[in-house]
Amino acid sequence: MREKWILETKRADFDDLAGKLGISPLAVRCMVNRGVMKPEKMRLYLNGTREDLPEPYRMKGMERAVELIARAKERGERIAIASDFDCDGIFSAYILWKGFGRLGMDSRIYTPDRVKEGYGLNERIVREACADGRSLLVTCDNGIAAKDEVKLARQMGLTVLVTDHHEVQGELPEADGILDPKQEGETYPYKNLCGCGVAFKLLCALYDRWEIPEEEKWDLLEYVAIATVADVMELMGENRILVKEGLAALKHTKNTGLRALLTVMGLGGEDAPKTEIRASKIGFVIGPCFNAPGRISTVAESFGLLMEEDWERALERAEELKSINEERKAMTEEGAKKAFALIDSRAEREGGLPSVLLTVLPDTHESLAGIIAGRVKERYHHPAIIFTETEGGMLKGSGRSIESYDMFQELFQCSELFVRFGGHKMAAGLTLPAENIDELSRRLNEQATLTEDDFCPEVRIDAAMPIGFATERLVEELNRLEPFGTGNPKPVFAEQHFKIRRARRLGKEGNILKFRVENDRNSQIDALLFWEADRFDEFVREIWGERELSRMYEGRENNLDVAFTYYPMVDEYQGMKNIQIQILNYCHVPR
């Protein structure tokens, strides 16, 4: 798949800003490229702390929400927390359960069965909460689209408080109170909180109301950080502060279950992490372990770990989550291969790919559809929806989109075809009768206005920078731009002409490449390319041939001339520090 390498050319007085902020012009350039343009915004971006978080009462509906909780507390009412089965839902529910307990209130978490019931509040949860003697129902990370279920709950005598962060679909549910930064007339300055972020703001208001010590409020930040990253939220504005502060708190977490998981995953010990915990570790290690049980087992496994206080039992539970996630990864790999084969076969038959890729995988576990859709989107750079078969002749789908395609709005135009539907610009979930799939495919592809350029992924380069400028001090400065993720990607640098002096494969599966490279200025550096060794070999064969590939691995003079995008890193081994680069993309640029 070809890529468009685009050098960012946003303008600013980089030297002047660097002088005012006490950082390098290159770091300023990276901030400007991410839309952070003014000195005060840059200072907040670099140095923002919990003291810079907006007051919770600026959120529309917060006074009403606190009033509902206060009334329930005065009356000794018991609370039902209606959650979800993904990371955001898990941590939203957990901090509400923990917070309500701190207020002396009895609460219980209710979650839907992913396979049998699907996402969000449902009739079974409402009836079960009533049967358990709960009188206040608080949703988290869901509820804004549950109009019928909220109506039923109120008819059955429950007071309902919806806390959510998803897009509003038409009219709001007739709840007693609603917190959702996406609702019309919202007064909160930051709209991109995850569900756990919204729950956290509610608890901040409650803790202030009952004068609970400030530090107990901040103890919740590690959970908000995990949920924010795992839910792929934009790491700018308030989210950036929540994640930065939360990752710092996670290093010293008091939660026995989290400490156990860090230990089991090789990130920590019983007392403290072994290594710096970055946002990427949440996205690729910690988050998937909490998500996996809700996909192929039961979400109770995740809550059990968070609530476990015995160290030995916590280690056992953490091992169970790790094992479940390994099983989930194997199942995902199998499903992705099937999807790729079906899509490639269709493209061969029809002479190309449709704009929107709809694929049915009958034998795949439905909880994996979203992950597989993400894999398909990454491979082909097309919007993708993966469907699995359910009972009653229904198909359940999960979609992932590209930046130039608003999946929520496009699907919304076809909503009469669905039994159930929800989501946002970049992802969506839906259920529809199997007989409607062809009509959905036809309409989505007819109304799509995507062009070939949209299907070509862009590589945004912050600066053309010779590797000689990669120093330990620069790496330290770039670390100040963390946490990296959605909306705040890791900086990308590029240089066009590298000779490869030698190469070898690393890792258990030999899929990591380590190079010694040299640029036109005769600067040399070690470079690592993760997970793409086979693809890089094919790239070399295609342009220079098998003989030159062999010479590269033998460390002999060869004709390779490769352009790299990269990120500089410090490699520390036995007390010695060396600068190396991580290769992000590669191509050949003729001289």
- The pLDDT of residue 269 is 65
Model confidence, pTM: 0.90
Q: What are the two backbone dihedrals, phi and then psi, of residue 139, each rounded to the nearest 5 degrees? A: -90, 155
- The pLDDT of residue 295 is 87
Beta bridge partners of 494: 464, 565
Residue position matching structure tokens 């690592």: 528
- The pLDDT of residue 169 is 80
The C-alpha angle with vertex 356 and arms to 352 and 358, in degrees rounded to 5, equals 95
Joined tokens for residue 572? 């520390």
Q: What are the two backbone dihedrals, phi and then psi, of residue 428, each rounded to the nearest 5 degrees? A: -155, 155
- The pLDDT of residue 199 is 98
If 0-12 CB within 10 Å is exposed, 13-18 middle and 19+ buried, where does residue 470 land? Answer: buried
Asked whether 567 and 492 are in contact (CB, 8 A), the reply is yes
Alpha-carbon dihedral 482, 485, 491, 495, rounded to 10 degrees: 140
If 0-12 CB within 10 Å is exposed, 13-18 middle and 19+ buried, where does residue 254 land? Answer: exposed
The C-alpha angle with vertex 280 and arms to 276 and 281, in degrees rounded to 5, equals 60
- The pLDDT of residue 391 is 80
* Helices within 386-459 (DSSP H only): 407-412, 437-447
Q: Which amino acid is at 102?
A: R
- As a whole number of angstroms, the distance between CA 296 and CA 325 comes to 9
User: Which distant-in-sequence residues (6+ apart) come within 8 Å of 382 by Cβ?
Assistant: 353, 354, 355, 356, 357, 376, 402, 450, 455
- The pLDDT of residue 426 is 85
- As a whole number of angstroms, the distance between CA 525 and CA 461 comes to 20
- The pLDDT of residue 306 is 97
- The pLDDT of residue 170 is 85
Joined tokens for residue 565? 């995008």
- The sign of the torsion formed by the CA atoms of 35, 37, 41, 43 equals positive
Asked whether 486 and 232 are in contact (CB, 8 A), the reply is yes
- Closest to 175 measured CA to CA, from 199, 159, 196: 159
Joined tokens for residue 431? 């259920």
How many CB atoms are located within 10 Å of the residue 180 CB?
25
How many CB atoms are located within 10 Å of the residue 349 CB?
8
Chunk the chain into consecutive blocks of 10 residues (it has 591) and report each block's average pLDDT, rounded to whole numbers.
89 95 94 95 95 97 98 97 95 98 98 85 97 98 96 98 92 97 95 97 98 96 97 94 95 93 85 73 94 90 97 97 95 96 96 96 91 95 96 92 94 94 85 96 96 93 96 93 94 97 93 96 96 93 97 97 96 86 95 85
Collapse the DSSP code of 146 into the 3-class scheme (helix H, G, I; strand E, B; otherwise coil) and give the result: coil
- The pLDDT of residue 591 is 85
